[in-house]
Amino acid sequence: MRRDVKAQPPNEEERLKIRKPKQVAAGITGVTKSFTIGMSEAGLIRTLKTMRSVNRFDGYDCPGCAWPDPDNHRSNFEFCENGAKAFATEATKKRLTPTILSSKSVQEWSNHSDMELDKLGRFTNPMVLRSDSNHYEEISWDGAFEMISQCVNNLSDPNEAALYTSGRASNESAFLWGTLARQIGTNNLPDCSNMCHESSGVGLTTSIGIGKGTVRLDCFDKADLVIVIGQNPGTNHPRMLSALANTKRNGGSVISINPLLESGLNRFKHPQEIIRLLGRGTPIADAHFPVRIGGDQALLQGVAKVVLELGRIDHSFIEEHIDGFEDWQKHISSVNWEDIVTQSGILKEQIIEIGNAVSNAKNMIICWAMGITQHENAVATIQEISNLLLVGGHFGRPGAGACPVRGHSNVQGDRTVGINHNPSSSFLDACERETGIIMPRDSGFDSVEFIHAARNDRVRLFMALGGNLLSAMSDTEEVANSIRNIDLTVQISTKLNRSHLVTGKQALILPCLGRTEIDPSGFVTVENSMGVVHSSKGNLEPGSKSLMSEAAIVSGIGSSCFGSNPFKWLEMSNDYDKIRDLIESVLPIFSNYNKRVREEGGFYLPNGPRDGPTWDTPKGKAIMHVNIIPNRVIKKNRFILMTVRSHDQYNTTIYGMDDRYRGVYNSRRVVMMNQLDIDHLGLNAKDEVDITSHFNEREIVSNRWKVVPYDIPRGNLAAYFPEANVLVPLESVAKGSNTPTSKWIEVSVRPHINDGN
């Protein structure tokens, strides 16, 4: 069973260095880092080639975050430092050949750090890990497809298969992936959105009838107030800083609400603007409010209370567009200020300050990310965001609306084209009509449900279209043990990660083209965070002659399993226009798909709250929800821990060991603590501690974390993802969305006793 393969990276040997956090984001250092990583991975010519075509009209979409590009123009530097790291490491000259990969056992490879695994380079050939071996060996494409076909045909129930999707997949490959799952006979389509913005989709859909944001990029030029809550754009969505800088330069204000004050919301130096690059930079946040972890819902209700007391509401908008206002108004009026202050950790006077700013805003945008979505009360908190926007009439006009900032380049597009474990009947009806495949009607597994099923031996086949589910999910060791129960695990990937090492009884690696590479079947399409569908076309020669596109791999699996009756699988991979025609026939929102996506910048998908406003809800109105503020009480001498990303990583990919924005160098296994909490525990900076998470009757212990003093509210801690995921119990999820609560982990901390472990 290979249970000795390590599901977590080994303990670090590096020595932690702590310096003063950077006060300015981007700037000359960001430019230097962008070129340095490119030169080290891809060399001068490939670096310049990728930089000159990333996010351009005729180029490829950055494989990093989903932040949109300007509609009508593209600059010569339409990417950020983290984007440069993403496409440079994909364009690397390093190759992980069969000879290299087979030279060590999976146990030996698992002793390497995640960064070391990534730096081995690109896969070149399909590989198989057989049940009686600890070493991968080369396999032909036909042989790999036959293994999958045999496993599919041997399933006793179609729901013993689960097909995972990463946000890196294109619309074309994702649509085929969903079709493949449904021809197998299952809606088991767990995907990365289940772990991040699923709460946004649920919260917004139940409020405004669509699970997406309602702003365009140029709305930031017109907004007079932008609230950034539960988000760190400087690290996770760096190009967003230029939009916020435009808000400030046009006379608008930015308010930051987050337990940590991040460098990106302090000052920003735009890499394209030489004068500002050399100067002090543009100040971003007018004010920062260090809310307690999990206190956002209480804070938002406090702000709403101020708005109601001031009477600054849009009565005509409420009358025409909103259902449930009276009940919400009554609830907010009854909320106790003491509860609001206690739960949020923000003084009443400060909340009144925010309320005054909201009341005076004619055009307001509220942005958020996983600092909001990964809590037990995440859906309710997002409904509070919607309530606040609705009462001010901030929908259906430029410069205003909801802006959930997606973390991966096409995670939103994947959902749009059908990657959904709970698809609508109308979607399935259309798929059945257009493909001839009888569609399964029962709901499938999301990511958490998939792990529960695998733990109970109810999954025999797991296939992943990109991603690193093992490291991205909560409860790392529990996830690893569950995956080991599966008969066959399949990874469609570009580079090695820990999900290729902790496997089922047998495992396949199917190497695919990257975004930066030439696809002989044409360009693909993606959807950004603001609902724009546009093309992506690589310009580098593929890293190996044996690589196949994602769509070709999915089509090959489909053909091997089902032939061409009723769905002609192999025809799909030869011409992507055919896939787009099929998507259009199933989803009318893609009308004239092939023509419009060839226009510079692509096209916007319909969005009722933005374009009308109109509301796809039972009564045809937006819905205001009443939510009780949770009374979150933890035991004495315990803390609340949240996971965060460093500036030297993207999702589970680790580029380096430094987080210069937070002043943490040479180490990732750190826990950030308020200095008063450090003193209370009798600790010092750099001391090693053991952390235990507590959920119901279960405890999870993780050893040897280094203490870093940081400006964070007392009683709150922060540690890096994915290392801290092991402490997030699988059963701890958001109500309504089933998203892991990676931003609310009740823990205790004790000094580490050096016993050799």
Burial of 40 (0-12, 13-18, 19+ CB in 10 A): middle
CA distances to 167, 222, 345, 437, 595 from 603, in Å: 20, 21, 43, 30, 10
Q: What is the pLDDT of residue 31?
A: 58
662: left (phi over 0), alpha (psi -120 to 50) or beta: alpha
pLDDT band for 265, please (50, 70, 90 cuts): low
Q: What angle separates helix 296-310 from helix 378-391, to the nearest 10 degrees?
A: 20
What span, in angstroms and rounded, lies between the C-alpha atoms of 742 and 757?
Answer: 26
More confident residue, 26 or 727: 727
Contacts 24+ apart (CB under 8 A), 324-330: 324/623, 324/624, 324/625, 324/626, 325/391, 325/624, 327/624, 327/626, 328/387, 328/391, 328/624, 328/625, 328/626
With a CB cutoff of 8 Å and minimum separation 6, the contacts of 484 are: 1, 2, 3, 502, 503, 504, 505
CA distances to 50, 59, 515, 535, 603 from 599, in Å: 22, 13, 20, 9, 8
Six-digit token string for 754 = 């050096």
What span, in angstroms and rounded, lies between the C-alpha atoms of 752 and 706?
Answer: 10
Q: Identify the weakest region by mean pLDDT among 11-25, 178-192, 571-585, 628-642.
A: 11-25
Q: What is the pLDDT of residue 462?
A: 98
Tens-place pLDDT, residues 84-141? 777 788 888 999 999 999 999 999 999 999 999 999 999 999 999 999 999 999 999 9
Do residues 113 and 654 touch, judged by C-beta distance below 8 A?
Answer: yes
Q: What is the Cα 436 distance to its own chain's centre?
A: 33
What span, in angstroms and rounded, lies between the C-alpha atoms of 95 and 604?
Answer: 38
What kind and span of H or E run contains 532?
Answer: strand 532-536
With a pLDDT cut of 90, the percent of the chain lying above it is: 78
Strand partners, 365: 226, 401
What span, in angstroms and rounded, lies between the C-alpha atoms of 263 and 23?
Answer: 5
What span, in angstroms and rounded, lies between the C-alpha atoms of 723 and 714?
Answer: 22
Instruction: Report whether pLDDT(278) > 50.
Output: no
Q: What is the pLDDT of residue 281?
A: 55
Question: What's the whole-model pTM score?
Answer: 0.94
CA distances to 268, 573, 724 from 61, in Å: 24, 20, 30
One-letter amino acid for residue 462 of the chain: F
SS3 667: coil
Matching residue, tokens 């909103």 = 322
